[in-house]
Amino acid sequence: MDPSSKRLLSDDGSRRRRSQDSDSDIDVTEHLRPKSTATSTQPAFLGGPRPGPFSSLRRPFKGRSRCCVIVTCVLLGLWAILSAGGAVFYTKYKEAPPTGESPPWYPAPKGGTLKSWADSYKKAADMVSRMTLPEKVNITTGTGWRMGLAVGTTGPALHVGFPQLQLQDGPLGIRFADNATAWPAGITTGATFNKELFYLRGKGHGLETRQKGIHVLLGPCVGPLGRMPAGGRNWEGFGSDPYLQGIAAAETIKGVQDQGVMATIKHFVANEQEHFRQSWEWGLPNALSANIDDRTLHELYAWPFADSIRAGVASVMCSYNMVNNSYACDNSKLMNGILKDEMGFQGFVMSDWLAQRSGVGSALAGLDMTMPGDGLFWEDGKSLWGGELSRAVLNGSVPVDRLNDMVVRIVAAWYQLGQDNKELYPEELPNFSSWTNEKMGVLAPGSKTPQEESEVNQYVQVLLPHKDLARQVAAEGTVLLKNEGVLPISRDGLVGIEQKKLHDGKLKVGVFGEDAGPGKGPNYCKDRGCNQGTLAEGWGSGSAEFPYLITPAESLKREFDEDKVTITEHLDNKLDYYKRNPSVLAEQDICFVFANSDGGEGFLAWGSVGGDRNDLSLQKGGDDLIEHVVEKCGNGNGDTVVVIHSVGPVDMERWIELPRVKAVLYANLPGQESGDALAELIFGDMNPNGKLPYTIAKSLKDYGEGGQIMYLPNGVVPQQDFKEGLYIDYRHFDKYNIEPRFEFGFGLSYTTFQFSNVKVKSVKDKSPLPSPRPAASAEPPTFDESIPDPEEALWPSDLRRLERYNYPYLDSVDDIKQDPYPYPEGYDVAQALSQAGGDQGGNPDLWETYVTVTVDVTNTGPVAGKVVPQLYLSYPDTEPEIDFPVRVLRGFEKFNLEKGEKKSVSFDLTRRDLSYWDVVQQNWVMVTSGQYSFAVGQSSRDLPVVAKW
């Protein structure tokens, strides 16, 4: 870590302010619509209780056996221990943990400063200028958990024609929806290294989202970045490199938003583990604090968010955790300083679900929308905004211009995506319910108030056009790690590229392991919160309902020619079965053995796995199964093909070098087309071309101190110091010269490629700093900033209230006084605009091409195949006081080459690609002395050609 680095990011005292600002902590239960329109749709929760402090322990075991109840009790005991531990830490540390360990950044920059959004802001300004105070507040506040058909719903502004916005998870499919695609996970998509597939997957996902009636898709995900290989939600993102994440996110966003759906990039920022990510979820009253320096933030964790903003993303979701002891969603430096000023973000910042921790404080710090609208606990009807935001505006705590900016940002994003077009969104409500599969139901099942039922599920089918695309992503996202002559295998039993016949007679193939089969069905556990059957998704809010799941066993059995191949399946991991029936292994020529490792979001637990994995071992005895199959297959003479499905890296050291392990396919999380995608590679219909989006180490400790999950709290506010700075994943392995098992970017093919004739062309001259920040290309809209008549906020006489529903109204305004408000420290200090800013994604000069690298690639092998040239940059060594990684990814492309074909590929490197973040100058700086090195090859450690600039 650079010793001159500054700690960043705070809510600037928002945690302290909560004790001062009782007027910002809301206590209202209401419903906006008139009685005539309030009766609509929605039944019971799809299994499991409503979220709460114990929900992560209760949900997986709803309706389960006595054994599961016992496990629940054990987990509750662990929760009690953690809570007791929190009490001990309270006793040990007499003073409260520090807050606000970075400079404040106020006031919140206004949206509407860029020409590319100017028309949308003009339309939005006209609409917002006609809104009442309750309508403005309504748009910023979620109605509450289970207070609508979607997982998130805002209130409408009926009189001006602005609808309730419907928000839905997630990154790989439409959570809780029927008849929609369960796409390959983000980590599988990242492993394709295919920009076209990034876009097409986003476009398909966006189309289905719109057809289901959802305005805002809560994805893609680039946080967590993947600092810790056992992190529970790493699989939702695209890999452990910021450049890869940024490109994948930007193309996904373009695809989603080309379909008129608002994309949401999440989670901002440093939400790298599930343990202690959220208040009370692990028994502690506060979330973990990710303590991170300025340079590391910019060059790693915030990097892909800049790409996303550059792509025009409509929304950014702030995360649960603290950053430098300030909650991310109350953090003025993060939201005002970095997102809205430095990165030029024109859309709206929403909270993760219950990540908002203060009322006035979060509004001043730059939060624009609170989700799901509840207060500090699920379904409490005590929103921190809603009626209390109305009160805060009326008493002067939240300036009127801050409220106007919140609202105009949301409405401008709605216009920017063309959602005022009734042909795109003919109905206000989704055509499915997140809470029931029944046709009829109520609109707000979280409310105890009686409601009339109506049709909530129309069972609209949207998935069929995307079957082939989902299969292609899954196939290209599968990585061939080892192949010693056994793959591909033809349908009639010929083996290897040479297509040899092993012997006369039928080829005997055995399929082994639970992970090859259907288990109890793909949707057996809510939110996929258990490991059973073949693994095709991780668990949590990033999961989706499977419309179907094609298993590997099903595909292999269907595709092999039964006249030439005898295939048997044994879909069990229990070694006792195989020991009692030795012939099932002894009779095989080739054995396919399947194993997996699962993880997910921390509100669910599967056995002892509380979101984050406990280690990198295969689960359910997978390592033991592989070793046994290898030993006994064909009486020790058969060939074994290992297939792994996993949320991230696994430790392979027990079996990877066994001589009869002839091939290893790493299939990641392939989604609904799992079996057919795998079959394409096994049968040679597609030449394997996936690349590892992370490093697979020889042991968990090889990832270094920064790669280890914090499983036990080290304080009442757990402190997680990112002391490794820039050195995560392959950067760590390179810096400390650690040999990985398989490096980042690695992946084999059935053919071979040669790189030659690398050339560098200078496009622009080197210069230390980018061009001066340009003036705003548009003027933010202006509004009447006078405090409205308090009478506007009173309850309408004809409005029916729903219990626990969040409304913008007040029962009385008699107690409202406009006393001087104690604004946080630094609120009156004028902030100099960042010279790194000036447009979407930052200073426009950062995105200009400064150098182009070209290289020739030739297919020198026996068959056609796709190649993924990767470019890694090494900084000049002329500034020894600055610590640079050995190499960083700065380019990749993917294309097909026929046998013997040669093509030239070009990489355009921008100023940002060539720069580092200078914490003193607070800007991106290019090294102008010495030479940059550009190495090109097929992985981070296979780089045969190098050029200098």
Tokens 């394997």 correspond to: 688
- Ranges of beta strands (E only) in 819-874 are 849-859, 865-867, 870-874
Note whether 398 and 107 are within 8 A (CB).
no
Q: Is 352 a catalytic residue?
A: yes
Q: Classify residue 88 by its DSSP letter.
A: H
- Listed residue (165, 265, 266) closest to 601, CA to CA: 266
**Tokens describing residue 504:** 């006369």
- Listed residue (304, 348, 344) closest to 198, CA to CA: 304
Rounded distance between C-alpha atoms, residue 306 and residue 312, angstroms = 10
- What phi, psi does 331 have (nearest 5°)? -105, 105
CA angle 563, 565, 567 (to 5 degrees): 120
Rounded distance between C-alpha atoms, residue 902 and residue 341, angstroms = 45
Note whether 315 and 263 are within 8 A (CB).
yes
Rounded distance between C-alpha atoms, residue 292 and residue 6, angstroms = 9
Beta-carbon contacts of 286 under 8 Å, excluding residues fewer than 6 positions away, are 97, 279, 322, 716, 717
Give the residues across from 113 on adjacent strands.
none
746: alpha, beta or left, given left = phi > 0 and alpha = psi -120 to 50? Answer: beta
- Listed residue (154, 172, 286) closest to 220, CA to CA: 172
Dihedral angle of Cα 165, 170, 172, 178, to the nearest 10 degrees: -70
Give the residues across from 923 on adjacent strands.
918
Rounded distance between C-alpha atoms, residue 183 and residue 206, angstroms = 12
Interaxial angle between packed helices 195-211 and 467-476, expressed in degrees from 0 to 180 and rounded to the nearest 10: 140
CA distances from 409 to 162, 484, 658, 782, 855 (A): 13, 57, 58, 13, 44
Beta-carbon contacts of 646 under 8 Å, excluding residues fewer than 6 positions away, are 535, 596, 597, 598, 666, 668, 669
Q: Helix (H, G, I), strand (E, B), or coil: what is residue 396?
A: coil
Q: Classify residue 38 by its DSSP letter.
A: H
Note whether 916 and 2 are within 8 A (CB).
no
Cβ count within 10 A of residue 339? 26
Rounded distance between C-alpha atoms, residue 738 and residue 255, angstroms = 38
Burial of 19 (0-12, 13-18, 19+ CB in 10 A): exposed
Distance in angstroms between the alpha carbons of the first and the last residue of the chain: 27
CA angle 391, 396, 397 (to 5 degrees): 75
Q: Is the peptide bond before 3 cis (omega within 30 degrees of 0)?
A: no
Tokens 């209760």 correspond to: 58
Between β-strands 479-483 and 661-668, what pairing exists: parallel, antiparallel or unpaired? antiparallel
Given strand 753-762, what is the order of strands in its sheet?
Answer: 753-762, 849-859, 902-910
Residue of 169, 352, 612, 839 marked active site: 352
Interaxial angle between packed helices 242-257 and 303-310, expressed in degrees from 0 to 180 and rounded to the nearest 10: 30
Rounded distance between C-alpha atoms, residue 854 and residue 906, angstroms = 4
Distance of CA 878 to the CA centre of its chain: 37
Dihedral angle of Cα 874, 876, 880, 884, to the nearest 10 degrees: -20
Given strand 507-512, what is the order of strands in its sheet?
Answer: 479-483, 661-668, 639-646, 590-597, 507-512, 565-570
Residues designated catalytic: 352
